[in-house]
Amino acid sequence: MILYPMVISAVAVVATLLYASYLDIRDRRVPFITWYPMLVVGIPAAIVLFYQTAGTQGQPSFSLIAGYLALIASFFYANYLDIREENDMFGFHYLAIVLILPVLSWFVLPRTVNLQLVPWYAMFAGIIAYVSYLGYRSVPERGVKSKKSKKKKPESDFTDVIGRWYFVIIILIFVITSILMIPGGEWGISALVILLTAAFGGVFYIFGRMHLFGGADAWALIFIAFCIPVVPITPLLNTPPPGFVAFSALINALLLNMFIPVGIFIINLAKGNRAPLMYMFFGFPVEGAEIQKSWGFVMEEFEETGGRINRRFIGFWDSVRRMYSGKGRVYTKDLREHPEHFSRELAIYRSAGTVWISYAVPFIIPIAAGLITAIVFGDLLRAIIQVITGGG
C-alpha cells in the first residue's frame, strides 16, 4: 500500500524535523516559523487524501475536510491567544474562521444533519467566544494612548480555570462530534482519523502549556499528526495501530531515547561520579564556574548559611511542580542569556565547585528518528511485544 499524498507529506515532515533538530542542537531554540514548510506541504496533502476518500455514495466528503481544517484552526487560534501581545489588535477574522468551519463541517456540508451536534457546537462557540473575550479584554485601553494605564483587576478563580483548561473541553468536543459523524457514513471510518488527531494533539498542547513538555517538541508531534494522519506506506514490521503514525513516532522516540540514560549512567560510573541512583541516569556534574557553557537545568538546590553551602537534589515531584509553575527551575540557558538575574546563584555555583545538571539532548532528535522508524519499520513496541509473545 502506498498513499502518495502521505509519502510527499512525510518527506516534507522528515526534512523539516531534521532541520529543526539542527537548530535545537545549535541554539536550543526552534522558532515557530520552522514548522511552516511541513505545514505548507502536509496540510494540502492530507486534504487531497481526504478528498480521495469516498463517502457512502462514492463522493468526496467535503464535510470531513472542513472538520479537519476546523480542528487545525482551533489549535492555531489557541496558540494565537497564548502568544498574543497585549497591545496587538485583536484578530476577529481568526475568531470568525474558527467559528465558521465547524458550522460548514457539521451542518452545511453533510448530506444529513445530525441534530445531536447542535448542543456541542453551542458549547464550542460559547467557550471560544468567552476565552476570546478574555483575550480582548486583557488590553487595557484599546485604540487610546494614555500615560496612565488602568490597573488590571485580578481574575476570578473561574476565569483562571477556564483560561487554563478550556482547550481540554474543546478537544473533547471534537472527539465526541467525530464519533457522532460515523453513523450514516458521512465521515465513515475516516472520523477515527479526526478523533485520534484531536486527542493526541490536545494532550501534547496541554502538556506544552503546563511546561511538562518542551514547546517545540509538543508542536512537532502535533504537526506530525496533522500532516501524516495515516501511514503513507506499509511498514516492514507492522502497521501502526490503527495506522496512526504520530503515536508510533512518539513510542519509537521514547524507546530510542531510553538508550541515552543508560549511556549517561555508564559514563557516570566510569568517571566515579556519585549521586542518588535516579540522578545517575539523568544528569552529570559540571564545574560550577563553567556551568554557563553547558546545556540543561540545575538538578540541585543550594543554600548558603554562615559561609557554608548546603546542597540537596531536587525531588521528582518538586521538579514536576516547578516545571508546571514555570518557577524555581534554573536553566543553564537562562544563566547564559540573563546572568544579571542570577548573580547570587552563579556565585554559589562557583563556590560549590561542581553542580549536577540534567542531560540536554533535544527530544526533537528522537522524535525525528522515531518518525522515520515508524514509517519504515512500524511500531517498535508492538514489534517487541510480538517477539516476546511469539505473535505474528
Q: In 3D, which of 334, 325, 340 has the Cα closest to residue 357?
A: 334
Q: What share of the chain is helix, strand, coil (3-state, %, to 5)?
A: 65, 5, 25
Which residue did the predictor score with more confidence, 102 or 297?
Answer: 102
pLDDT at residue 140 greater than cutoff 50: no
Identify the band that residue 142 occupies on the pLDDT scale cut at 50, 70 and 90. very low
Q: What pLDDT, in 10s, does the model give residues 295-351?
A: 888 998 888 777 788 888 888 777 777 766 667 678 887 888 888 888 888 888 988
Which residue did the predictor score with more confidence, 37 or 158?
Answer: 37
pLDDT at residue 245 greater than cutoff 80: yes
Q: Between the CA of residue 160 and those of 81, 141, 312, what are the distances in Å?
A: 14, 22, 34
**Helix, strand, or coil here: 60?**
strand
At a CB cut-off of 8 Å and minimum separation 6, what does 144 contact?
none
**Domain coordinates of the chain in residue numbers?**
4-139+155-233, 242-392
pLDDT at residue 139 greater than cutoff 60: no
Q: Between the CA of residue 13 and those of 51, 365, 381, 388, what are the distances in Å?
A: 21, 13, 22, 32
Which residue's entry shows cell 514509517? 375
370 burial level (CB within 10 Å; 0-12, 13-18, 19+)? buried
Please check whether residue 359 is in contact with residue 282, taking contact to mean a CB–CB distance below 8 angstroms: yes
Q: What pLDDT, in 10s, does the model give residues 249-274?
A: 999 999 988 888 898 999 999 999 99
Identify the band that residue 147 occupies on the pLDDT scale cut at 50, 70 and 90. very low
Instruction: Give the helix ranges, DSSP H, for 28-156.
Output: 36-52, 62-83, 92-103, 117-137
How do beta strands 308-313 and 300-305 pair?
antiparallel
pLDDT at residue 8 greater than cutoff 70: yes
Q: Percent of the chain, pLDDT > 70?
A: 90
Instruction: Give the helix ranges, DSSP H, for 184-214.
Output: 191-209
Identify the band that residue 242 occupies on the pLDDT scale cut at 50, 70 and 90. low
Q: What's the confidence (pLDDT) of residue 54? A: 58
DSSP conformation class of 289: G
Please check whether residue 177 is in contact with residue 120, taking contact to mean a CB–CB distance below 8 angstroms: yes
Q: What pLDDT, in 10s, does the model give residues 183-225?
A: 766 788 888 999 999 999 999 999 988 877 888 999 999 999 9
* DSSP collapsed to 3 states, 221-256: HHHHHHHCCCCCECCCCCCCCCCCHHHHHHHHHHHH
Identify the band that residue 144 occupies on the pLDDT scale cut at 50, 70 and 90. very low
Give the mean model confidence (pLDDT) for residues 235-250.
Answer: 84
User: What's the pTM?
Assistant: 0.80
Which residue did the predictor score with more confidence, 111 or 166?
Answer: 166
Q: What's the confidence (pLDDT) of residue 331? A: 80
